[in-house]
Each structure stands twice: as structure tokens, then as C-alpha cells.
Amino acid sequence: MYCQDCGRALRGRERKDLPARVPWILAGVSLVAFSLVIALLVQRGSVERRGDMVMTGGGPGAQPGSAAGVSGGMPSAEDLATMGPTEAADRLFDRAMMEHSTNPENAARFLEMGLRAYAAVPETDMDLDRWFHVGMLLLVSGDLAGAAETADGILAREPGHLLGLALAVRAADAGGAPDVAAAHRERLAAGTARGMPDRPEYQAHADLIWGTLSESPGGNGSDDSLDR
């Protein structure tokens, strides 16, 4: 652009200095890097797909046997790379639990990936069901203190939450605290005395809840019902 009076070239619209744009650039790069790393790890650690398998995610609206609750296997690396942090974390939880029940020697990497994925989920998306997922990943990984702390956090927000109680029972059983486990198991039994409440996360994890009630005290919290 030029001045109409003297013809001198005028400066165009000033661009923002690079330092001012750095936070936005880093945020974008981090999101892309997170998606690519998760996708590559899943692709590298994937095993042969298994037939229709009930998912354990229990996200909003998910019901056992529904289209959202059944998977023909893990999504491809390309699909996972296009997911947001929340969906990717839920799918990795499903995979970690599946590996724990069917291929234990391959489970550790998916447990770690799941925990890292949930650490990247926005706080506003971390409902009690997803905190339960985190607690289960910690429990299966052997971090009993972390699992118990997560259960306490769930119950602090909703004292009668069945998944928080089930997690607390399993963590206490595995940690050799029978009195604590018995107290939580009693509350869990009271919460299911009239049947399983009609809440999506309870229905998605109904087998685990019932299994927690039917287990003998002192169990190690690593039975087959952990994957459901």
C-alpha cells in the first residue's frame, strides 16, 4: 500500500511476534503428537483381532450389546489418530482390560498407555465413570494405593457411587485390609439390594459390580470380572 499524498510505501498489517504465537503453536503440535504417538503404539502392540467383544468403556449412553458397546476389535492406527483425547482414552481402557483378561503378558503396555491417555483428557470430561477407569488401570497395574485414593475421590464426590464402592472393595481386598473391604462391600450390597440402578455406567460394568459382591473377602482383585 502507498500514501496517496507522497507515494511512500506504507507498512501492511503487523503480524504478531513469534513469541506471542508460541503457546498456540505448541498446543497444536502437542495435540497432533499425542494422537500420532498413541496410534503408533497401538499399531505396534496390536494383536490379532478377536470377534465381537463387549466394550467396557461405559461412556454416556453405552449399553452392553449396543452398537456403541460392541467392538469388532481395536480401531486402526489411522482411526485412533483422528480421535480426541477422551475417546482415545476410553478405547485404550477397553483394550487394556481385554489384554489383561486374554493376553496378560501383553497388558502392561496398554495399561500404561491408558493411564497416559486419561492424563491428557480435559478435566471437564473426567466424569466418575472415567475416574473409575483410571482406578481400575491403577489396580490392575499393581498400584493399590493409587487405586484406593481414586476410589476415595469418587466417593467424596458421590458417597454411594457403586463403581467407587466396587473399586474401594477391590483395592482393600488386594491390599489386605479386610475390615475396609467389608465396610465398602456392605454399602455396595445396600446400593444393589433392589437390583442394579438404571445408570449407563452401572449397566456397562454390571458384571464387575456383581462379581465384587460375590467374591470371597481377601481376593486379590485380579479375577476375570475385571474386564467387564
pLDDT per residue as tens digits for the range 15-73: 455 555 555 555 554 554 555 555 545 444 443 333 333 333 333 333 333 323 333 35
Instruction: Say if strands 70-71 and 53-54 run parallel, antiparallel, or are unpaired.
Output: antiparallel
Q: Is residue 48 part of a domain?
A: yes
**Residue 47 domain-assigned (yes or no):** yes
The CA distance from 160 to 154, in Å, is 9
Task: Give me the CATH number covering residue 207.
Answer: 1.25.40.10
CA distances in angstroms from 45 to 38, 52, 106, listed in the order given? 11, 20, 8
pLDDT in tens, 102-142: 988 888 988 998 999 999 999 999 999 999 999 999 999 99
Q: For the chain, list the strands marked E by DSSP.
A: 53-54, 70-71
Q: Total structural domains in the chain? A: 1
Q: Is residue 10 part of a domain?
A: no
Cβ atoms of 167 and 185 closer than 8 Å: no
Q: What residues are paired with 2 via a beta bridge?
A: 9
